[in-house]
Amino acid sequence: MTRVLLTGFEPFDGESTNPSWQAVRAAAAEPPAGLEIVAAELPCVYGAARVALRDAIEEARPEIVVCVGQAGGRPDITVERLAVNVDDARIPDVSGARPVDEVIVPGGPAAYFSTLPIKACVAAVRAAGLPASVSNTAGTFVCNHVFYGLAHLIATELPDIRGGFVHVPFAPEQVLDRGRPSLPVASVAQALREIAATAATVRTDIRVAEGATH
């Protein structure tokens, strides 16, 4: 059995729910064959989220870590390519903190690439009939903060773990009368199962064009 840690976030920015955590819990409740999925909820708070992630990794001792966050406005499941070493908050986190142009890890690299087979993961989600794409920016909010923290842990302390980050759209109940894209939580959970299963079985990513012109 391959053990996969999936993390989601608590609600933020005035929302009463966060589909990342809802979908992570659902995926963990019905894991794909051959996988054990452990779910952990992270606070949407700079600093504390990285501490909670480290604690979850130490407790679960996974082989693969997939952190998941809400990207309201995106229409599909987006598998992130890289994390950047900067916190720059347009909105405050749940604690009210709003860092601007602050490094996450002093002296750390400017960026880290995901160690997941990101393009194979996207292909697997599409094959399941769900929309997905590669994303080249995880933003500069708490999602990127956690992604960079995970990547730094892998690079400096936990080389046997592979990990990355996935952004998911709003849930339908979050966008009533707003006209913004959404996906049902059940669909997002299925996408996360496909990503976890692909990450567990694919070591060398597929070579297909998934880049962006802007």
Q: Which residues are catalytic?
A: 80, 143, 167
Contact 9, 164 (CB under 8 A): no
Question: Sign (positive/negative) of CA torsion 35, 75, 93, 82?
Answer: positive
- Rounded Cα distance between 180 and 173, Å, is 11
**Cα–Cα separations (whole angstroms), residue 135 to 12, 98, 99:** 22, 24, 23
Widest pairwise Cα distance in the chain? 46
Say how far residue 40 (Cα) sits from the centre of its chain.
12
